[in-house]
Structure 1
Amino acid sequence: MIEIINDKKEWGTQLSMAQHFDFYHTYDYHHLSKNDDESPILIKYTDGFTTLILPLLLRSIKNTEYKDATSVYGYAGVLILSIDKQFKKENFHKEIIQLFNENNIIAVFSRLHPFLETEESILDDLGKITSLGYVVNIDLTDSIEIQRAKFNRRLKTYLNKSRRSCTVIEGNISEHLELFIELYNENMKRVDADDCYFFETDYYHKLLSSKDIDSSLMLCKHNETQEVIAGAIFIKTGNIVQYHLSGLSEEYFDLNPIKLIIDEMRIQATHKGFTHFNLGGGLGSKEDSLFQFKSSFSKNYKTFKIWKYIVNEDIYKILAENHLKTQLKNEDLDKGYFPAYRAPI
């Protein structure tokens, strides 16, 4: 049996039965992340003692009767609530394809969670799973000293200097949020980030006040001036800490305050018993300067994968060709920007 869940309470009930999940799977994060034309849904599949759930953002395709589905920014994908030894993924595939067809959904995209490896086995042979690159994980099961021993030598020097000049504190919404937003936006403008990396003020308020999302706003203060020079938001779920957003003042760039904030969260998270600290990857999962910055903390990499599935190839091809104004071969349908009919032109 397969069904669509929209109710917050029921969504939370289903999620609570998963052995492992992340804040990216929650109802609140989906409603925070959605655009005006997107509707969060939780697909639930049940067969005997097997229960699977898949959160998605459903969206209409402009000027058509069709829809497609995508995942929130971050790492979502399929979660296993329980699984029967007799489970056959072919039955799951058959029912979810029927659901997609009944709802005129012609294409589905999801970013998979690099720490939940069972997703790939569930989705294998349904569409295409592609590796995009790596995310950097600090193994918090190592002692604090061993973690630090694995740091890049230059990073240790930066941190020593930063600790002499700065102090990390925990911030709060009423006193520090507007300042953090200014630092974050300043940072995004400096790196010429896409519009999708900028958020309304309400986004930060809801992210930091949601009862379903355990978030921390960490700030770096300059000891001499007492000025807040950098900040970062971290989110903790289960045994995982996620480095979510950060920003800093260009004036204090040479003090490496973000590195110090990450290091302080690493120490705190280790003491609290977390096992994974995901710093994420480079821009577009490339091994760029952002990736190099993160990998100076650890060489423990996890593979980041995405899932692409074209439900109705005929309709997809027509929409893509009309949008791109070019003929496409079937083997090129899921290459490049996905879905192709939403590619910037």
Structure 2
Amino acid sequence: MIKMLTLLNKEEWISYVGNSAEYDFYHTWHYHSLETAGDPVLFVYEEADTYIGFPLLQRRIPGSDYSDLTCVYGFSGPFSNQKIDEIDETLMENFKTAFSKFLVNEKYVSVFVRLHPFYKQQKLLDKFGGVHENGKTVVFDLSLSLEEQRKKYRQSTMDAIKHAWKRGFRVEDETNAAGVSTFVEIYTENMKRVGASNYYLFNEKYFSEILNTSEYEARLLTVYYKEIPIASTIIAFTNGIIQAHLVGTRAEYLHHSPTKFLADSITQIGREKGMKYYNLGGGLGFKNDKLFDWKCAFSDLHFDFQTWRYIANPEVYKKLLQDKGIEETTEVDFFPLYRYA
């Protein structure tokens, strides 16, 4: 059986996610309800007592009768009431057949999805082809003692944390309206300073709403030096995983490295809550850049990060590239290419 749910099917969406063996807050109805880059849908394939859900965003392709599918900001991909890598092979093949027909019938040209580094979703999507290696994400293993964890830090990282202790830095839980206003100020300044695209800029309403749900727990934590808020982050706790969703630091306090102190503090909060992992993420665009190196200074545990870049209609895809004068063989790391520039 196949279902196509939209945001209007709130309770069903919540039920499918909540009853899954593995999911993160990026899969939830609430998180999708905040999305503006496309129209959220949940494709569901059910067979006997097993289901596979696939949350996606629909986007019209300008100047054509076609659409494509992408995903929310963060790590999503398919989920199931069984672990993906334990699903019966026949059922996975049947899912492939059903989803392929859906893509053709609904005139979708391509699909782009950021896969979740903690779940084995590639076993299902490898059946289609198009799974792309994108780099690594840096992870804290919270099963280690705090002492063992800190032994893995680079000396410069531990020195920055000790510096924060000496100066009396503290972390406050500011999951409230005042905290959101502070976060918006710090985060927006941070994003503009690093030249981030508009894709990474969000308004105050978005930040308020991401924290206000019963589908997952999210917190806004702020680092204070005396009475001055100098760094802030939004993190989410779901199924044993802490996600470092968004973070920012005031420019004049960058030399104090307050986010190193913040990351270390979050691992302590995670242990108190019984979390298994704290995912710091990767570099910008998941490249091995300065940001990735900064994160590597905390942990040598790195998970593979993959994307699914699937062309459902090669003929139309090629025509869209031709219409924009883009060579199909270009080495630009962007998908789908017809949306480049």
TM-score by length of 1: 0.93
Whole-angstrom distance in 2 between the partners of 1:187 and 1:116: 31
Whole-angstrom distance in 2 between the partners of 1:188 and 1:84: 41
3-state SS, counterpart of residue 319 of structure 2? helix
- Cα displacement string for residues 220-278 of structure 1 (whole angstroms, at most 9, x for unaligned residues): 1112xx11111111111010000111111111112211111111111110122100100
Match of 2:299 in 1: 298
Match of 2:263 in 1: 262
Match of 1:11 in 2: 13
3-state SS, counterpart of residue 244 of structure 2? strand
Deviation at 1:11, TM superposition (A): 0.2
3-state SS, counterpart of residue 148 of structure 1? helix
Match of 1:195 in 2: 198
Of residues 183-192 and 165-174 in structure 1, the stretch that sits farther from structure 2 once superposed is: 165-174
Whole-angstrom distance in 2 between the partners of 1:172 and 1:121: 38
Deviation at 1:207, TM superposition (A): 0.6
Letter in 1 for 2:133: S
Match of 2:178 in 1: 175
Equivalent of residue 92 in structure 1, options 83, 91, 95 = 95
Deviation at 1:326, TM superposition (A): 4.5
3-state SS, counterpart of residue 33 of structure 1? coil
Whole-angstrom distance in 1 between the partners of 2:127 and 2:262: 42
C-alpha contact (below 8 Å) 1:229/1:252 kept by paired residues: yes
Match of 1:140 in 2: 142
Match of 1:152 in 2: 154
Letter in 2 for 1:199: F
Whole-angstrom distance in 1 between the partners of 2:87 and 2:182: 50
3-state SS, counterpart of residue 24 of structure 1? helix
Match of 1:337 in 2: 334
Whole-angstrom distance in 2 between the partners of 1:188 and 1:334: 27
Whole-angstrom distance in 2 between the partners of 1:124 and 1:193: 32
Letter in 1 for 2:31: Y
Whole-angstrom distance in 1 between the partners of 2:25 and 2:157: 29
Deviation at 1:164, TM superposition (A): 1.6
- Cα displacement string for residues 108-150 of structure 1 (whole angstroms, at most 9, x for unaligned residues): 1100000002x11111130310111000000001111111111
Whole-angstrom distance in 2 between the partners of 1:130 and 1:84: 22
3-state SS, counterpart of residue 20 of structure 2? coil
Deviation at 1:156, TM superposition (A): 0.7
Q: Cα distance 1:310–1:86, how it changes in 2: closer, same or farther (>3 A)? A: closer
Deviation at 1:212, TM superposition (A): 1.9
C-alpha contact (below 8 Å) 1:317/1:333 kept by paired residues: no
**1:68 partnered with 2:68:** yes
Match of 1:39 in 2: 39
After TM superposition, what 4+ stretches of structure 1 lie above 3 angstroms from structure 2?
A: 82-88, 332-336
Q: Cα distance 1:327–1:296, how it changes in 2: closer, same or farther (>3 A)? A: closer
3-state SS, counterpart of residue 157 of structure 1? helix
- Cα displacement string for residues 62-95 of structure 1 (whole angstroms, at most 9, x for unaligned residues): 1211110001111111112136646342221111
The alignment yields a C-alpha RMSD, in angstroms, of 1.6
Letter in 2 for 1:14: Y
Whole-angstrom distance in 1 between the partners of 2:340 and 2:40: 22
Q: Cα distance 1:326–1:280, how it changes in 2: closer, same or farther (>3 A)? A: closer
Letter in 2 for 1:25: H
3-state SS, counterpart of residue 245 of structure 2? strand
Whole-angstrom distance in 2 between the partners of 1:34 and 1:78: 20
Of residues 205-214 and 67-76 in structure 1, the stretch that sits farther from structure 2 once superposed is: 205-214
Letter in 2 for 1:139: D
Deviation at 1:17, TM superposition (A): 1.1
**1:21 partnered with 2:18:** no
Whole-angstrom distance in 2 between the partners of 1:343 and 1:86: 36
Match of 2:221 in 1: 218
Q: How many residue pairs end up in the alignment?
A: 335
C-alpha contact (below 8 Å) 2:47/2:91 kept by paired residues: no
3-state SS, counterpart of residue 224 of structure 2? strand
C-alpha contact (below 8 Å) 2:184/2:203 kept by paired residues: no
Deviation at 1:192, TM superposition (A): 1.1
**1:57 partnered with 2:57:** yes
Deviation at 1:5, TM superposition (A): 1.1
Whole-angstrom distance in 2 between the partners of 1:102 and 1:326: 27
Equivalent of residue 131 in structure 1, options 113, 130, 133 = 133
Whole-angstrom distance in 1 between the partners of 2:317 and 2:234: 38
Q: What percentage of aligned pairs have identical amino acids?
A: 33
Of residues 26-35 and 262-271 in structure 1, the stretch that sits farther from structure 2 once superposed is: 26-35
Structure 1, unaligned runs of 5 or more: none
Deviation at 1:335, TM superposition (A): 6.8
